[in-house]
Copies of this chain bind each other. A is one copy, B any other.
Amino acid sequence: MAPTTPAYRRLSVEERRTQLLTAALTLFANRAPEDVSLDDVAEAAGVSRPLVYRYFPGGKQQLYEAALRSAAEELEQCFDEPRQGPLLPRLRRALDRYLAFVDQHDAGFSALLQGGSVVETSRTTAIVDGVRRAAADHILRHLDITEPTPRLRMTVRMWITAVEAASLIWLDENKQPPVDELRDWLVEQFVAVLSVTAARDPQTASVVQALASTDA
């Protein structure tokens, strides 16, 4: 038999915090936030309610925001990619990490994206929007664009939203198509929508040319 985690091993503060955040994310992902209580979180994590309060004295809202923030930070790390080598393989590697995150976090990922849904909403929406902005910034930096034209920026942001939608649909459809196909498909869509914009925007045209010359 596989070894199991000893039931009563004392967790470090950081481990405990992570455990509570993971339990919270999973619950928020599967139920409407108003149907999740701190008791539920305590039960899912196998701890007492006072212990949850010790870690999150602000209660449910604080726990929810902390869970979102931790998922957001992890997600943003997926975008870290050295700025060297051909461009499309860089995008492919970042997408691989992103899709692995989606795959592993599953319910937690849905919770993150449906973030703006708890009582106090402006801060949680800001967390999710921050991830989207970070993704767009990373892409533009890799494309060596410091001052994007509105059309280029809009194209990149639209593609990011489409990737988000694809991820949620993919989770919904039992992770079909296979992740490698999904990743290639998304990269091809990126090039396709940039090519459409290129006809209307010289900056985007130069980006498409750079993609073609380094990645042909």
A interface residues (Cβ-Cβ under 8 A, vs B): 32-34, 114, 116-117, 119-122, 125, 150-151, 154, 157-159, 161-162, 164-166, 169-170, 173, 176-177, 181, 185, 188-189, 192-193, 195-197, 199-200
Contacts and interface: CB of A to CB of B under 8 A. Distances in A.
Contact of A116 (B116, B173, B197): B116
A196 B200 contact: no
A192 B196 contact: yes
23 contacts: A32-B120, A32-B121, A32-B122, A33-B121, A34-B121, A114-B116, A116-B116, A117-B117, A150-B173, A150-B176, A150-B177, A151-B177, A154-B170, A154-B173, A157-B165, A158-B162, A158-B166, A161-B161, A185-B197, A185-B200, A189-B193, A192-B195, A192-B196
A177 B154 CA distance: 10
A35 to B, nearest CB: 9
A33 B122 CA distance: 9
A193 B162 CA distance: 11
A177 B166 CA distance: 26
Nearest to A121: B117
A85 to B, nearest CB: 24
Q: Is the interface of A mostly helix, strand, loop or mixed?
A: helix
Contacts of A34: 119-121
> Which of A158, A159, A169 gathers most chain B CB within 10 Å?
A158
Contact of A161 (B120, B162, B170, B197): B162
A119 B34 CA distance: 7
Contacts of A195: 192
Given A33-B121, A177-B200, 16 more contacts: A32-B120, A32-B121, A32-B122, A34-B119, A116-B116, A150-B176, A154-B166, A154-B169, A158-B162, A158-B165, A158-B166, A161-B161, A161-B162, A189-B196, A192-B193, A192-B196
